[in-house]
Structure formats: C-alpha cells, structure tokens
C-alpha cells in the first residue's frame, strides 16, 4: 500500500484555499483532503503501466502550484523499513519504483518476510542449549559442556593439568594427562594402580614378586622408596650394587683397616690384639693396637704398691722398706736377714727364721760343735762306707774302688772279671726264640 502525506505551505503565508489531485488511479486509490493537507492511500495493481499523479494547490489570491511526485515504494514485512538506495522493480515509466528493505536481524528475505531462527544449527557449540531472545533479538547459548570453557558459541578445551586446583590427581603418585574435554590421572613410574582403592600404590621393587625388575644384585641391601628404590652394598661388602658386591678384605690391601691381629671373613672381619695390647677405637677407620697402661687403673694390675707400665706388660715394684714377693706382685716388709751379711757367720749354709740364724752343712759334712763350721764326715769309718773292697774318703763324700782283678758293679760292689756263671734249666723245653726258660741262677764268686 502506498501512503502519501501532502502538506501545502505558501511562501507569502497566504491561506491555502484549495487542494486537488489529478490523475488519481481509478482502482484502490483514496485521497482524504484536509486542506492544506491530504493523504493519498493506494494499493497499486500488479500490472500497473502508467501513473501520473499531480497535486494542485491554490491560495486565497487565486495563485496555483502543482507537484507530480515520483513514487518510491516498498513492501517490507514485519515492520521493517524501506531501503531507498536499492531499486527492486520499476513501473509506469519509472514514476513508480519498488525499493528494497532494511531487515532487522530478526527477519530475512526481499521483503523481510521470513523470520530468522537464531538457534539454527551451529548457532551454539555442539550440545549447548540455544535460547531465542526477543529484545534485543538474538540467541543465548547455554554453558559449555563440562570440561570445556567459552561463551557457549565457541567452547575450547582447557588444560586441567596446568593448575593442580583444576584436577584431582595425586601429585606424588600420579601424572595429570590433559584430554579434550577432560583429563586423566596416570600412575607415575614406580607406582601401580590399586584395583581396590583405585589409588596409585608405590611398587615395592624390593619385594620378591617384582624380582624381574629387581636390580640389586648379590650381597646388597634393597631400600624401597616412594616411586623408586635404591641398592647399596651390604655392610662389609663393596662394589657396584647393580652388578654385585664382594667382600671387603679389611686385613689386606687398599681396604685394610685392621692393623692388629686380623681375621677376614665374608662380610666381616675380626680385629684383635696380643695380650697386653688393646684396640685403639678412636679412629674407626683405622684399627690399631696400642699398649695397655695397666697401671692407669688399679683393676688392670695386681701390684700391691707400685705399678710400672711397659710396652706389652707391666712390672710391680715396692716402696722403700718393702720388697717384692715371689709372686711378683705382693710387697712384704723388708726385714733384716742376718744371713745376708757375712752369711750369718756360717761357714756354708745359713737360714734365718724370725731373726734367729741357724747354720747348716751340705750332705757329707757335719756341723762342728761351734755351730758354724762344717766338718767332713769320713764315711769309710762306718761299715767301710758300704764298699765291698776299697773305701776312699774325701771332703764331702767318698767312693768305693776294687782290687786288681775286680771291677765295680754299681757304686760299691766289686765283681770278679772272670766270674763263673752257670745256667741250667729245671724244665726241659724252649721258647720259640730259643732262649732257655725257667728260673735262672747266677753264681758270683767274690
Ligand atoms: Ca582438558
Ligand atoms: Ca618403590
Ligand atoms: Ca671381610
Ligand atoms: Ca703395658
């Protein structure tokens, strides 16, 4: 429908007395005259070929003027406005032209006749709810799906692993792995998923069930740690625990630490010292022997009075007025021994008992009546000294000898050099050795 508002004004300000319209189309045109204004409404027919509408206005002095407007019209739907810059169709020698429309976002089409669906496919991110809104017209996209972030139109994955507050992986035992729309927690090396608790448990590599992975070799200690383990040589062994450790010889070579009496053993050793020495334990890495100062503590020696230390042992001595006993440790009061000076006056042997001197004589002597000197005993005077033939006395003893033709048998008896010996047997028979058996009788002629 065409609607033309006409307003007439006079330059002299004379009143407009008359308003007319000429060439008004016969069909569908209505001119409402309200001089000095008027409104022409008209719906042009489809087959319109010519049209010349002329408005004529006359003022109170009889002066008239005319106007034949060129008509541009549009047919915009849904309250959309004309776009006079675009000519869509031309009618009636260009006196009537159909122009395009300025459609609001809500509408589309040449006459803005079609309402746009702002929630058409792709309006929001996949699976995000789309809501049409009217004022202003448009759409509202719901929140991005879980695990994605954005305005609902564009949604992007975010890396939950960048910030520990955005994932629930256990930092010690799990690695966070980002995925599109989510993340997952993988067990770190050295951990294994527990089927029951779903947590990552440390692998105890020292446990025999993991023997395949157990790298600690012979003579080593395996120490399990969270996420790992370590190997070390057992005490007393050395080497590369991943290859195997061997005994340290603490008694010899570069590893020697015992400089005493050393006995190496596999994994250990024994270090000791000779009697009178002790291990110096001040230096744990170098065991050596040092003399025991037995005199330092009375419990280490048995000296009655004075202890004198020496290398490997000690000696006891006594204070003045005492002398060392036979046991080498006790001290006895030194008493004057009258036998000490001039042998107590005795010629030979002297004994001192409680200060009383007694003289003695060796065997073969008798004490003289003076009680001090010794006199030889003449043993030959008594039973010829027991000699069977000659008895010879001398100082302190005597001896026996024999006459010519005899010789000593034993110390005292003489026997003839040609003695008559007769053996006879009371029994006949002989032993297997041929020696006659039976009692023997020896006849000796003196
Ligand atoms: Ca993610
Ligand atoms: Ca472990
Ligand atoms: Ca050893
Ligand atoms: Ca000593």
Q: Kindly identify the ligand whose nearest atom is closest to the C-alpha of 166.
A: 1
Nearest ligand, CA 203: 2
Tens place of pLDDT per residue across the chain (446 aa): 677 888 888 888 889 999 988 887 767 788 888 988 998 887 766 666 666 788 899 999 988 898 887 778 788 899 999 998 888 888 766 777 888 999 988 899 999 999 999 998 889 999 999 999 988 888 999 999 988 999 999 999 999 999 999 999 999 999 999 999 899 999 999 999 999 999 999 988 888 776 555 678 899 999 999 999 999 999 999 999 989 999 999 999 999 999 999 999 999 999 999 999 999 878 778 899 999 999 999 999 999 999 999 999 999 999 988 889 989 999 988 777 778 778 888 999 988 887 788 899 999 999 999 999 999 999 999 999 999 999 999 998 999 999 988 888 888 999 887 644 444 444 444 434 444 444 444 444 34
- The pLDDT value recorded for residue 432 is 40
Cα 268 to averaged position of ligand 3 atoms, centre (Å): 4
The predicted structure's pLDDT at residue 219: 93
CA of 204 to the centre of ligand 3 (A): 30
**What local confidence, expressed as pLDDT, does residue 419 receive?**
47
Q: Is the Cα dihedral 163, 166, 167, 171 positive or negative?
A: positive
Taking only the tens place, the pLDDT of each residue in 219-278 is: 999 999 999 999 999 999 999 998 999 999 999 999 999 999 999 999 999 999 999 999
Under 8 Å between Cβ of 227 and 200: no
Centre of ligand 3 from the C-alpha of residue 265, in Å: 4
Can you give the pTM of this predicted structure? 0.43
Question: What pLDDT, on the 0 to 100 scale, is given for residue 91?
Answer: 73
**Contact status, residue 444 vs residue 406, Cβ threshold 8 Å:** no
Backbone angles phi, psi at 280, to 5 degrees: -85, 110
Q: Say which ligand is closest to the CA of 202.
A: 2
Q: Which residues surround ligand 1, an ion (CB under 5 A)?
A: 157, 178, 183
Predicted confidence at residue 429, as pLDDT, reads: 41
pLDDT given at position 135: 82
pLDDT at 24: 77
CB 181 within 8 A of CB 146: yes
Q: How high is the pLDDT of residue 418?
A: 63
For the stretch 421-435, pLDDT in tens is: 444 444 444 434 444
The pLDDT, as a whole number, for residue 171 is 92
181 CA from centroid of ligand 1 (Å):
5
């Amino acid at each position: 429908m065409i609607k033309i508002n006409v307003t007439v004004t006079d330059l002299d300000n004379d009143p407009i007395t008359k308003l007319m319209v000429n060439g008004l189309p016969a069909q569908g045109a209505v001119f409402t005259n309200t001089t000095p204004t008027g409104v022409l409404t008209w719906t042009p027919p489809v087959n319109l070929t010519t049209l010349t509408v002329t408005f004529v206005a006359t003022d109170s002095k009889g002066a008239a003027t005319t106007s034949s407007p060129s008509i541009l019209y549009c047919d915009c739907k849904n309250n959309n406005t004309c776009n006079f810059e675009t000519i869509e169709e031309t009618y009636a020698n260009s006196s009537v032209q159909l122009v395009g429309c300025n459609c609001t976002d809500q509408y589309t089409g040449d006459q803005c006749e079609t309402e746009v669906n702002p929630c058409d496919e792709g309006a929001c991110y996949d699976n995000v709810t789309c809501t049409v809104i009217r004022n202003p017209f448009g759409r509202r996209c719901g929140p991005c799906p879980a695990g994605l972030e954005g305005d609902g139109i564009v949604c992007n994955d975010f890396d939950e692993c960048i910030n520990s507050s955005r994932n629930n992986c256990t930092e010690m035992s799990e690695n966070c792995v980002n995925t599109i729309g989510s993340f997952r927690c993988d067990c770190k090396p050295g951990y294994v998923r527990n089927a029951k608790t779903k947590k990552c448990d440390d692998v105890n590599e020292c446990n025999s069930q993991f023997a395949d992975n157990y790298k600690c070799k012979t003579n080593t200690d395996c120490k399990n740690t969270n996420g790992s383990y370590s190997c070390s040589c057992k005490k007393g062994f050395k080497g590369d625990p991943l290859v195997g450790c061997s005994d340290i010889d603490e008694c010899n070579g570069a590893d020697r630490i015992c400089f005493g009496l050393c006995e190496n053993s596999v994994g250990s050793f024994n270090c000791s010292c000779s009697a009178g020495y002790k291990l110096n334990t001040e230096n744990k890495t170098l065991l050596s022997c040092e003399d025991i100062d037995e005199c330092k503590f009375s419990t280490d020696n048995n000296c009655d009075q004075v202890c004198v230390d020496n290398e490997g042992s000690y000696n006891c001595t006594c204070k003045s007025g005492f002398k060392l006993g036979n046991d080498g440790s006790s001290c006895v009061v030194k008493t004057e021994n009258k036998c000490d000076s001039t042998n107590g006056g005795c010629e030979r042997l002297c004994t001192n008992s409680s200060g009383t001197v007694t003289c003695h004589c060796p065997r073969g002597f008798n004490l003289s009546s003076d009680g001090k000197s010794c006199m030889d005993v003449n043993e030959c005077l008594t039973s010829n000294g027991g000699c069977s033939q000659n008895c010879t006395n001398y100082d302190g003893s005597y001896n026996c000898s024999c006459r010519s033709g005899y010789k000593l048998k034993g110390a005292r008896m003489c026997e003839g050099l040609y003695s008559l010996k007769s053996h006879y047997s009371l029994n006949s028979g002989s032993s297997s050795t041929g020696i006659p058996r039976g009692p023997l009788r020896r006849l000796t002629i003196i």
